[in-house]
Amino acid sequence: RDAVLAVAVYDPRGKVMRTTQKRVESFEGGRMELEVLALMEGIHAALELGIRCVNIVSDFKALHKYVCMLGTWRQTKNKIEDMVNEALSLMRKFKQCEFSLIPRGQVGYATKLATELVGTKKRETCAICLEDTDLSKIYAVEGCAHRFCFSCMKEHVKIKLLGGTLPACPQDGCTTKLTMKDSKIFLSPQLLEIMVQRIREGQIPPTQKIYCPYSKCSALMSLREVISSWALMYTVAGGPTLRKCIKCKGLFCISCKVPWHAGMSCCDYKRKYPHVRPEDAKLQNLAQQRSWRKCVKCNHMIELAEGCYHITCVCGYEFCYTCGKEWKDKKATCSCRLWDEHNIIHDRGGRR
């Protein structure tokens, strides 16, 4: 369920200096927790305004009792008491601070703000771009309920998909994966097609992935699919390494992952054609010149642009960029240095 908190800050003449209206998504706490959140919201607002002397008023007797009872900060195991202690710590930043209990219903302006927010709110601020956006263009991630505008979600997903990974919720620290069903609302058909591919790639273990060697196809297949299709078309003449692409139906060699080489062994084919495609030779030369690394699990070529030498490939395999040795349980199996300063610290405008 959602909850709403509202705070109003007045000057000594009764003029409104600042108002805060905030919807608390998927709120699971009780009235006391919400009141303490509103209290801290109001304290922060007053401090930002540079107010030194403040009189806090509330019509919630339980909150007033808690504040007066605790009085000074102390460590507790109670969530509400810890929140009140945090509020008390903030209150001590004022030169003078009083907390008054008034008759119920007399906190009129703040109540009006909350009522308006519940009844008429039609826009919401996106947590990424900070733009005020129509609620119809706000997306709630399934599973975690974090909310962002369609435009930011589309850009986030696009960057992840084109980078070869399956996108998760953009909220910092959240690992909730996005689903095809819900992403249709803000993704273009082209991005949806790529997302289908990424989901499929994620479902096939790195050692089981096979790509069609024909450049006009390059379809992704699992080893199981290839074996199944081979069982239907295997011939003695073809030999045990002959396979057929499940998409373009082109024949290829499962051993060396190249178009089918009838009457020629894999070794002979590799000697005659060390690079199946001209661009493969160019990529290999460029990789050698720039010391790029190839993942031993999925054969992705990786270039370190910045950061440490601990590499996590899109397939999940972790290794040392310097020597290529595997990282196990988040620990290096080699003695190479972890990072170089020039890869970590950037020179911006002559300063570091």
Render pLDDT for 5-46 as a digit per residue (tens, 0 to 9). 777 787 776 677 887 777 776 666 677 788 888 888 888 888
Question: pLDDT tens, 102-143?
Answer: 776 555 555 555 455 444 456 778 888 888 888 778 888 877
- What's the pLDDT band for 349 if we cut at 50, 70, 90? very low
Residues 135, 227, single domain; the answer is no
Q: Which two tokens stand for residue 29?
A: 């706490």
Helix (H) or strand (E) holding 225: helix 223-233
Residue that the structure tokens 């390059």 belong to: 218
At residue 348 the predicted structure's pLDDT band, cuts being 50, 70 and 90, is very low
What stretches of the chain adopt beta strand conformation (E)?
Answer: 3-10, 16-24, 53-58, 96-101, 123-125, 132-134, 138-140, 147-149, 209-211, 220-222, 242-244, 251-253, 258-259, 293-294, 301-302, 310-312, 318-320, 327-328, 331-332
**How many domains does the chain divide into?**
4
Identify the pLDDT of residue 104: 60
Indicate whether 284 belongs to any domain. Answer: no
Mean pLDDT of 314-333: 83
CATH number at residue 90: 3.30.420.10
**Do residues 210 and 147 share a domain?**
no
Indicate whether 137 and 219 sit together in one domain: no
Q: Domain end: 202, 218, 249, which one?
A: 202
Cβ distance 212 to 221 under 8 Å?
Answer: yes
Same domain, 163 and 88: no
Q: Is the pLDDT of residue 282 over 60?
A: yes
pLDDT tens digit sequence for 176-222 = 888 887 788 888 888 888 888 888 877 888 778 888 888 788 888 88
Residue 281 lies in a domain: no
In angstroms, the CA 250 to CA 245 distance is: 5
Give residue 110's domain range: 3-117
Whole-number Å distance between alpha carbons of 77 and 66: 15
CATH code at 141? Answer: 3.30.40.10
Of 270 and 230, which is predicted with more confidence?
Answer: 270
For the record, the structure tokens of 108 come out as 């009129």
Tokens standing for 148? Answer: 């962002």
Q: What is the pTM of this model?
A: 0.45
Domain assignment of residue 350, yes or no = no
Banded pLDDT at 350 (limits 50, 70, 90)? very low
